[in-house]
Each structure stands twice: as C-alpha cells, then as structure tokens.
C-alpha cells in the first residue's frame, strides 16, 4: 500500500476509538496492513456459522447491518456507520461467527489483521477497554447451551450479576474448579472433566497450581496420538499457570488472556502460583461478564406483559445510566446502549398493543423521532413518534387507518404509563396528523421540503431525525430516499432550516455571562437544552442533510462525520462534537440529581471550574452560527 494511501487511512482512523489511542507511527503501521473491502448493497461480509476471519473491520463508508437469527427470524442487532468497529469475535472467542454482517447500502470497510493489531491491544488498556465494550454490545454467547440461538443480551440473569454497566467490575467465575495431582492418569482426568461438564482441570501441589489442562490439550496431544491416555497428566499439562487475584477485573483478565495467548486463568489467594487455588476463569466467563448487564434489561423487556413491568425496567435503566456516568464510561457508548434499550421498550409496547387489537391489516413502520430518533434520550422525556402504513385500496383506507390510530393510542398510553409523557405538541403517532399512509407521508415531506414556510406551524425539524422501532424497514428507507431526493438543489429548504437553527436565543450575553431566565418558574436558571444543546442538534442536522450524511442521526456522530467530509471546517465540527457531549453530561447529571428533564441548570450551584467548563462548551456555537450564515443563503426567512 502506498504511503499516501496509508496516510489517508491513518488520518481517518485517528478520528475514531480505539484508534485515537494510538500514536501516529502505530496508526501508519496498522494502515499499511489494512485490506480495503468494497461491498455492494445487500452483499454479505460474513454470516452466522462462517469460520472466523483473520481480521476485524471498520466501516469506512456506507452502513453495515449486524443481524442474528432469533425465533426463526432474522433480527437486526445493530447498524454500523463510518468509524464503527465490528467483527471482533476473532479477538475474544474461537468459535464461528454468531451473526451476519451485510451491507445496507454500497459500502467500503477496512479489514484490519488481528495479528497486526493484537500487540497494540495487549499494550494499551484503553484500546482493550473499547474493544471489550464493542464486543459486549455486538455479540452472542456461544457457550451457554441453555441460551443457544439467543442474543448474548438474552443471557440468564442471576442474583450475583449487577444491574450496572461495569466493564471494570470483578467477574464471576468457577469457584469449584477440578483439581488433580500431577501423577493422575490422563484418562481419569478426562473422565472427571466429562462428568463435571467442564473444559479444564488444574494440576496442584499442596493446593498450589503447577499446571493446567484444557480440552485443547486433549485434542492436540492425546487425540492425535502424541501421548497415550495412560500417561500422567503432568506430561500434557501447560505450565506455568497464569494466575490472578480474587478481585481481578474483566479488563485485567482479558488483557492477560491476550498477552499470554491462553484461554483460562487460575485464581489464587494472593494472585501468585505460590498460594491456594480459589477458582478458574475461562473465556466463557469473560464473554458473559462483558455483556450481561444491558442484556438483563433486554431480557426483562421481552418478557414484560404489562406497562407496570416495563416501567420497572425503565427505572433500572435510570440506575444503569447513573452508574455508567459515575464510572466515566464514554457518553456515546451510554447513548448507544440506552437507545437500544429504549427502542426495545417501544417495540414491546407496540407488540402489547397488537396483542390486544389483533394482527395489523397491512405492513407498517413505527418511527421514533426527535431525541430518541437520534438515540440521545438518557432522561425521561415526552414521546415523539410517527406511524406509516403501506398504501391500501381506497375502499380499505378508512378501516386500515382506524386500526392504526387505535394501535398508536394504545401504544402511546402504554409508554405514558412507563413514564414517557405525551408530547405537548402532539408529535405522536396517536395524532391522526402523524398516522397515515405512505402516499400521504410522501405528500407531507414534499410539502415541507418544497414549500417550507407556507404552513410553518406544521413543520418541525424533529421529523428529519428518525429511527425505526418496529415494523417494515423498507418503509423507513423510502422516507430516507425521498428526503435525499428533495435536498438536491433545494436552497429554499435550507434557507428555512438555517434560519430556524439560528432562531434560538444566545447562551451568553455580550459580557460573556450566562443568559438566564428572567421570569417564571425557572427564573435565574440557565436553559441548557434550548440555549446550549438544541442549537448544536439543529446545526448538525442542517449540515448532515445538506451533505447527504444518510443514516447518521446522532448529533455527536454527525459532527464527527462532518469533520471528515468537510475537512476545511473540521476544527469547528470537532469542537461542536466535544461541546455536545459536555453539555449533554451537564444536563443528564442535573436531571438525574433532581429527577426531571435536566433542562434548567442553577448556575449558582456550580463551582468555578464547572462554570468555566460549561462556558467553554458554549463557545463553539458562535463559530457554528457564522459557518451556517456563510454556507447557506439565509434571505427569504431571515
């Protein structure tokens, strides 16, 4: 690969974790070894039960869908956008792929050889930590026979498991390992392992570990005839044993497995091989530990039969969010996990409504819009949704729409009981304005985009942030195609959106003081949502639509991608991306503390450092405002 190409790939990778933790020379080394894979729309990169590749993957452009087979149907697990890492199973497991990776549209992915990247993982805990989190959210548990063919997020919940995302938590392991002495015959050890349904045995001397045997040893040393089954076990054991203390964390254990290329760790009293054996940690234990926490909630959601049960899950999610922030887990990761769990709650709410009403008369899609459509909903807020059903014969239209209105009203009522208030602006699928056929929605979007401002009270920019929660994916694709088509050479639409973006009141006054509320319930407080976060949300959406960043809804992800596709202004975009995360964290902490939306911050309660941090996060908005004025012809609606 030429130096210039490798340099370009390295520059792309450094914008995304975990590659941003590597030095430039290390990135060049990785980039030089990368394979570039071009995938046509619907082309499969790997599928369930395929043998593992010798590389993992990063999306360079396009969208890759990760799906699994659940209940005899293909279920979408995740969508990977530019910069997203996937296909990590070769790092953490030895069996075949447990999901399918397929291009949702024409895409390019970078194949990064495991052998080249593994040393950087072993040397850099931050890189390992990120890969652990990614693997935990995009994998299944292949070892659990009881849950085979289910998502790893469906693992059985036990009392010892925590309700928190703790990738540095102490993990559960087998505290009653099989222990044998060095002179025990191989055949006897094999018999004991079979009877106890385990894949390893520790060889001890005065209860201190001197070696270990696993299924691999039996396959490579006994099954091929190298040793007879009558020899003593110490002839085929691996030594020395890699030992760890009882309080070892998930990340530390995984790091040792990678460094020493082993599949098991021996737990001892003081972490050395000179103390008593306390247990054994396997790759299976690590995979379960990495993923069991969000999976507990997903499992409970799928089993829920009432709004009350769903509300209990949502309350646990709040605890999970709070503990995750306290542990400094990156906010984009929390957004992603939370977004998937909330989507599961919405999906189950629709399912419960269908169980009450009976099967739908036609195919349809329930789309979350606004903050949930962007996967930015950490706090309990109001509902925003639309429902689109496929076109039907004119004589059936009234009955079909009547069914879907009833479905939407039941669903939104369930969600209200869960804790999501009705939208005060009526932006819900239960409103007949936002529950209609595909043809009607096409007319609606055409009117909004081709004749903006004529009925300005009917348009809201949140209708351009959407994510399917239930139903037919092709319906969502049709809306996306329509929006892309209508943005071409449409200066009038961007004129309208640009002015709407700049209509928010500035966060700081001329003297760089916070513009706080002057009257009303929140007098003296700072409106962080409307003066801080929403201008960034609106700006990211405006530029994403103008540059056709299809499929990227999250504000932080939009700014990061804008920095790549519009490099002349990358500094502004990256500053806005950082600002969005800082402001969002302020709002989330405020909301969790006061059990509310977190929209209004009491500046007086912040210390000097916090006030400066908040103020600095607001400073990129001026640059963003100037960029909007420069990029778009803001005339007619000014």
In percent, the amount of the chain with pLDDT more than 70 equals 88
pLDDT band of residue 142 (cuts 50, 70, 90) is very low
Which residues, in sequence order, are bridge partners of residue 36?
110
Nearest to 130 by CA among 174, 185, 199, 83: 83
Nearest to 152 by CA among 284, 52, 251: 284
Q: How far apart are CA 531 and CA 534, in angstroms?
A: 7
Report the half-sphere exposure of 399 (CA within 13 A, side-chain side): 8
DSSP, collapsed to helix, strand or coil, labels residue 382 as: coil
Cis preceding linkage at 197, omega within 30: no
pLDDT (average), residues 554-570: 91
Does the pLDDT value for residue 540 go beyond 90? yes
Q: What is the mean pLDDT of the chain?
A: 84
DSSP label at 241?
A: P
Q: How far apart are CA 339 and CA 346, in angstroms?
A: 10
For residue range 152-179, list pLDDT tens digits in order: 222 222 223 333 333 334 466 888 999 9
Q: How far apart are CA 540 and CA 637, in angstroms?
A: 20
Residue for token pair 């930590």: 129
Give pLDDT, residue 638.
52
Note whether 100 and 86 are within 8 A (CB). Answer: no
Task: Tell me which H or E stretch contains 540.
Answer: helix 534-546
Mark out the alpha helices in 304-387 (DSSP H runs): 307-326, 331-357
Does the pLDDT value for residue 522 go beyond 90? no
Q: Is 626 left (phi over 0), alpha (psi -120 to 50) or beta?
A: alpha
Does the pLDDT value for residue 587 go beyond 70? yes
Pair of tokens at residue 282: 């396997």
For residue range 611-637, list pLDDT tens digits in order: 889 998 998 999 999 999 988 877 666
Q: Identify the burial level of 42 via C-beta atoms within 10 angstroms of its C-beta, where 0-12 means exposed, 13-18 middle and 19 or more buried.
A: exposed
Q: How far apart are CA 225 and CA 293, in angstroms?
A: 44
Give pLDDT, residue 146.
30
Q: Phi and psi (nearest 5°) for 76? A: -70, 125
Which residues, in sequence order, are bridge partners of residue 305?
none
For residue range 73-131, list pLDDT tens digits in order: 566 777 888 998 999 888 777 678 888 999 998 999 999 999 899 888 877 877 887 77
- What pairing do the DSSP bridges indicate for beta strands 243-244 and 264-268? parallel
pLDDT (average), residues 302-308: 90
Residue for token pair 């925003």: 384
For residue range 43-52, list pLDDT tens digits in order: 999 998 899 9
Note whether 87 and 36 are within 8 A (CB). Answer: no
pLDDT band of residue 454 (cuts 50, 70, 90) is low
Q: How far apart are CA 314 and CA 600, in angstroms?
A: 23
pLDDT band of residue 378 (cuts 50, 70, 90) is confident
For residue range 14-45, list pLDDT tens digits in order: 888 899 899 999 999 999 999 999 999 999 99
Q: How far apart are CA 139 and CA 66, in angstroms?
A: 9
Residue for token pair 């999610």: 317
For residue range 336-368, list pLDDT tens digits in order: 888 888 999 999 999 999 999 999 999 999 999
Measured from the Cβ of residue 278, the count of other Cβ atoms closer than 10 Å reads: 20
pLDDT (average), residues 394-416: 96
């Amino acid at each position: 690969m030429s130096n210039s190409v490798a340099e370009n790939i390295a520059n792309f990778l450094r914008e995304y974790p975990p590659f941003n933790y590597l030095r430039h020379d290390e990135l060049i080394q990785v980039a030089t070894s990368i394979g570039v894979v071009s995938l046509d729309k619907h082309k499969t990169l790997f599928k369930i039960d395929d043998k593992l590749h010798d590389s993992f993957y990063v999306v360079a452009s396009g969208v890759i869908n990760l799906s699994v087979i659940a209940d005899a149907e293909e279920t979408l697990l995740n969508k990977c956008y530019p910069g997203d890492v996937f296909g990590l199973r070769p790092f953490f497991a030895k069996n075949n792929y447990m999901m399918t990776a397929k291009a949702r549209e024409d895409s390019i992915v970078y194949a990064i050889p495991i052998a080249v990247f593994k040393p950087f993982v072993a040397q850099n805990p931050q890189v390992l930590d990120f890969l652990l989190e990614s693997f935990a959210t995009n994998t299944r548990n292949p070892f659990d026979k009881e849950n085979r063919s289910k998502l790893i997020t469906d693992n059985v919940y036990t009392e010892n498991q925590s309700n928190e995302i703790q990738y540095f938590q102490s993990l559960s392991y087998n505290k009653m390992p099989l222990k044998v002495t060095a002179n025990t015959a191989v055949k006897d050890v094999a018999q004991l392992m079979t009877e106890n349904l385990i894949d390893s045995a520790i060889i001890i001397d005065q209860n201190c570990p001197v070696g270990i045997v696993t299924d691999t040893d039996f396959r490579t040393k006994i099954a091929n005839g190298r040793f007879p089954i009558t020899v003593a076990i110490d002839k085929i054991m691996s030594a020395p044993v890699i030992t760890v203390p009882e309080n070892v964390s998930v990340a530390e254990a995984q790091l040792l497995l990678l460094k020493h290329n082993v599949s098991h760790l021996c737990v001892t009293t003081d972490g050395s091989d000179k103390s008593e054996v306390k247990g054994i940690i396997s790759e299976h234990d690590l995979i379960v530990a990495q993923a069991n926490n969000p999976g507990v909630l997903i499992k409970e959601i799928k089993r829920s039969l009432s709004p009350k049960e769903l509300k209990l899950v949502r309350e646990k999610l709040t605890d999970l969010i709070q503990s995750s922030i306290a542990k400094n887990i990156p906010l984009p990761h929390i957004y992603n996990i939370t977004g998937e769990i909330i989507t599961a709650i919405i999906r189950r709410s629709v399912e419960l409504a269908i169980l009450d009403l009976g099967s739908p008369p036609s195919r349809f899609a329930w789309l979350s819009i606004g903050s949930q459509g962007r996967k930015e909903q950490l706090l309990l807020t109001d509902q925003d949704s639309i429902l689109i059903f496929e076109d039907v014969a004119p004589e059936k239209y009234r009955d079909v729409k009547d069914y879907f209105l009833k479905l939407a009203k039941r669903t939104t009522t369930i969600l209200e009981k869960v804790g999501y208030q009705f939208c005060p602006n009526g932006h819900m699928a239960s409103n007949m304005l936002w529950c209609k056929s595909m043809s009607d929605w096409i007319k609606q979007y055409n009117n909004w985009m081709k004749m903006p401002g004529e009925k300005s009270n009917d348009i809201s920019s949140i209708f351009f942030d959407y994510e399917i929660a239930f139903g037919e994916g092709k319906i969502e694709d049709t809306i996306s195609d329509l929006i892309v088509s209508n943005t071409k050479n449409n200066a009038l639409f961007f004129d309208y959106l640009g002015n709407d973006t700049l209509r928010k009141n500035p966060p700081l006054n001329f003297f760089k003081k916070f513009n706080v509320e002057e009257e009303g319930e929140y007098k003296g407080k700072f409106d962080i949502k409307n003066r801080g976060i929403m201008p960034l949300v609106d700006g990211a959406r405006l530029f994403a639509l103008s540059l056709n960043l299809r499929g990227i809804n999250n504000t932080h992800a939009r700014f990061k991608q804008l920095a790549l596709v519009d490099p002349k202004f990358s500094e502004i975009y990256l500053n806005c991306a950082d600002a969005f995360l800082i402001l969002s964290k302020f709002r989330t902490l405020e909301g969790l503390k006061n059990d509310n939306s977190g929209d209004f911050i009491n500046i007086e309660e912040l210390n000097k450092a916090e006030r400066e941090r908040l103020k600095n996060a607001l400073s990129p908005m001026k640059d963003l405002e100037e960029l909007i004025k420069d990029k778009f012809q803001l005339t007619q609606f000014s």
